Amino acid sequence: MAEWTSVARQVVNPGEAIVFTENAIPCPYGLVLHREDSGAFLTKGIAMKPQPRRCCCMNPPVVNYQVSFGANVAVPEGETVGPITVAIAIDGNSLLGTEMEVTPAAVEEFTNISRCTPVGIWKGCCQTISVRNTSSIPITVENANIGIVQ
């Protein structure tokens, strides 16, 4: 398992990725790479366990990762209260079923959001995983945590 965190508060604009600053547990196999002080995680489509030889229709074309995310989110001071939505994305495209939504009662009122989901990475390819602000307003994020395991 590989894990990254970002304890400090950050304001994330609509469409941008949440930035992770600390590598709590590095990936021991080099299958998940993180660009320092960014929200981009490059995952490699290489299976850790050998796959049995079967015909192509029996072998899935993806390597499965489990992505878990959690953070405290709020509407920043000076913004109008509205729904906060965040989603796990591959190559910048939000994955269906991973959007987390909360509507706080006031600005700077933090609520915890989290999601755990399987993510398929094409075999032999590299794809970028991120967690993006899909709201129409900026959001404040603190104590963000992401874990990626094959």
Confidence grade of residue 66 (pLDDT, cut at 50, 70, 90):
very high
Confidence grade of residue 51 (pLDDT, cut at 50, 70, 90):
low
Q: Quick check: 56 pLDDT over 60?
A: no
Phi and psi torsions of 119, nearest 5°: -130, 125
Confidence grade of residue 1 (pLDDT, cut at 50, 70, 90):
confident
Cα dihedral across residues 84, 88, 90, 94: positive or negative? negative
Q: Quick check: 54 pLDDT over 60?
A: no
Residue range of the domain that includes 68: 2-149
pLDDT value of position 69: 98
| Span 35-45, average pLDDT | 92
| Span 96-120, average pLDDT | 96
Q: Report angle CA 55, 58, 64 to the nearest 5 degrees.
A: 125
- pLDDT (tens digit per residue) in 69-80: 999 999 999 999
Q: For all residues of the chain together, what is the average pLDDT? A: 92
What are the angstrom distances between the C-alpha of 132 and each of 3, 51, 82, 105, 128?
17, 33, 17, 22, 12
Full-prediction pTM beyond 0.95? no
The CATH number assigned to the domain holding 108 equals 2.60.120.40
Number of structural domains (the chain) is 1
